[in-house]
Amino acid sequence: MGFQIIRPDTRFDFMGWRRLALIISLALILLGLTSLLIKGGPRYGIDFAGGVIIQIKFESEVDMRHLESLLQQARLQGMSLQTFGDRGDNEYLVRTSAEEMTTSDVRQRTREALNAEFQEDEYSFQRLEMVGPRVGEELRENALQALFFAVLLISIYISGRFEHKWFIAGFMAAGLGLGVYFLKILAVPLVFLILGALLISLIFFWYLRLSFALGAVLALIHDVLITVGIFSLLNKEFDLSIVAALLTIIGYSLNDTIVIYDRIRENMRKKISESLSHTINISLNQTLSRTLVTSGTTLMVILSLLILGGGIIHDFAFALLVGVVVGTYSSIFVASSILLKLRPEIPGEEEKEEIIDVKTRMAQRAQKKRA
């Protein structure tokens, strides 16, 4: 026999652990939300907050406190200093919210402050970037809209794929999309607008009994909230690369959820058990090997990026690492648990049963005539 990660006769009781999983998820989400509330939101990077960022590389090790004291002489508004990359790289990021200054002014002031202690050949500017506050605000709004519409389009696909309700889901999504567009024209704060639209979407899913869509969307929201919350707890910056990571996480988690949902639907049609909990457990065990192999190989690549990729993509790789772990967990415990709670009906089953009944009655009549 060939090597197998998961034995074919494995029978883990995933649904028996769903309450513990719920407690873990709620604890992580509440911790993240509490951190966001205390800090007044995510720690936005230059992409969203605006300002100027300078990356400086020194030829030898420099005391960070002394360097910060030295840079204070540059009189840069809202200046902050942090290390960049590995410890031995001797690289630092200088951030400033000096909106009225040009990049040339910032460079000149920084150079003058450093020249008081260092020769010009002892350090070098690796990069200097500037983003205006208005551009940062627009990028922030566009990122939020991208996440919202990604989740909305995913809900249409899930509703059509698993519940054959393409028209209902499409009509609902079109209405929400137009509503968001017109309310944005009326200058309604976008954050509250998107949150309200998401809440209305979830209510629609529940009312229209779009069980598969509701489970998948709640699992995606769960993944995004935990990832953003962990970034807030670790005081990491939130920029465009993290938005790209969140969209990647949404796609990865959804793919995993669809594979599991597909097996659950197939087993429900086969009526392998009268208990939905048992059916879901069997389906999860049947797909567990595939889930672990996919997640494991993906994590190997992400860990390589995290360790060897350097400071530029460190936070991006870290977001993917958290997202893949949380996304795999949510596909097994969150999405499946919601499906168990909602007890969906498989479309087409009633019609199949009616056809079988008609065929049975016709066969009985034919048998009576022959008799």
DSSP string, 222-259: HHHHHHHHHHHHTT-EE-HHHHHHHHHHHHHHHHHHHH
- SS3 of 100-146: the string is CCCHHHHHHHHHHHHHCCCCHHHEEEEEEEEECHHHHHHHHHHHHHH
* Res 357: pLDDT: 47
Residue 368 has what pLDDT?
59
pLDDT of residue 325: 94
Cβ neighbours of 125 (radius 10 Å): 14
H helices of the chain, in order, are 18-39, 46-49, 64-71, 103-115, 133-163, 166-185, 190-207, 211-233, 240-270, 276-308, 314-329, 335-342, 349-370
DSSP type of residue 92: E
Give the model's pLDDT for residue 133. Answer: 62
At 148 the pLDDT is 79
Q: Quick one: pLDDT at residue 99?
A: 63
pLDDT digits (tens, 9 = 90+) for 14-68: 888 989 999 999 999 999 999 999 988 888 877 777 778 888 888 888 888 888 8
| Alpha-carbon Rg for the chain in angstroms | 27
pLDDT at 230: 94
What string of pLDDT tens digits covers the 371 residues of the chain? 445 566 667 788 888 898 999 999 999 999 999 999 998 888 887 777 777 888 888 888 888 888 888 888 777 777 778 777 776 778 888 888 766 677 788 888 888 888 888 888 888 888 887 776 666 677 777 787 788 778 878 888 888 877 777 888 777 777 777 777 777 777 767 677 777 777 877 887 888 788 888 888 899 999 999 999 999 999 888 888 888 899 899 888 888 899 999 999 888 888 888 888 899 999 999 888 888 888 889 999 999 988 887 767 888 999 999 999 999 999 999 999 988 888 776 655 444 444 444 445 555 565 655 65
Enumerate residues 6+ apart whose C-beta is below 8 A from 37: none
Q: Would you say the C-alpha torsion 34, 37, 41, 43 has a positive or negative sign?
A: negative
- Give which of 231, 233, 256, 257 is closest to 246, Cα–Cα: 231
Say what the pLDDT of residue 25 is. 94
Q: What pLDDT does 181 receive?
A: 73
The pLDDT value given to residue 352 = 44
SS (H, E, C) 277-296: HHHHHHHHHHHHHHHHHHHH
Q: What pLDDT sits at residue 46?
A: 73
Answer whether CATH 3.50.50.60 is correct for domain 15-41+135-351. Answer: no
Q: How far, CA to CA in Å, does 40 sit from each of 6, 33, 137, 242?
A: 45, 10, 16, 18
Q: Provide the CA 76 distance to its chain's centre, in angstroms.
A: 35
Multiple choice CATH, 51-131, 3.90.330.10, 3.30.70.100, 3.40.50.720, 3.40.50.300: 3.30.70.100
> 15-41+135-351 with 51-131: one CATH topology?
no
Domain boundaries defined on the chain: 15-41+135-351, 51-131
Residue 176 in tokens? 């929400």
